Amino acid sequence: MARLLIDGDDLVVRLSWRERFRARRREVRLPDAVIKDAWIEPDWWRALRGVPERGLRRPARPLGEWRHPRGRDFVALRSGYPSVLVDLWPVPSTAPLSRVAVSVPPEEAGELLGTLRRRRVPERPAPATGLT
């Protein structure tokens, strides 16, 4: 099962070895500055937007990237578990991703959500170029 971890100033989605193979990714690493909002969704299927682009396409176990009109989402979901959804600001470091959705055990969901909400950036980060 995928895990959401806080590593220094980064939020890391760590995948099991099977999930790494199926998603064709080792991990997803997001700096705190790109976290726009985070919340818990009790129904895993409500976290899905768009159509699968690459990764695993099994019923009740979506894994990988999903494409939709606003960008791409990375999902690692399982039925029967709540999902932590993290919306991201559109910045160059996470350009293709607009949301990360990961199923976590219920006992970890509340604590993780509190940590993410304390660390999120409430307003859009300033552009790096300094242009107005």
List pLDDT tens digits, range 55-88. 777 788 899 899 998 889 999 999 999 999 999 8
Mean of per-residue pLDDT scores for the chain: 82
* Mean pLDDT lowest among 25-34, 87-96, 116-125: 116-125
pLDDT reported for residue 132: 43
Q: Please, what's the largest Cα pairwise distance for the chain? A: 47
Query: Any idea what DSSP says for residue 80?
Result: T
Task: Write down the pTM of the prediction.
Answer: 0.82
pLDDT reported for residue 99: 93
* 70 vs 99: which has the higher pLDDT: 99
Bridge-based pairing state of the strands 51-56 and 63-68: antiparallel
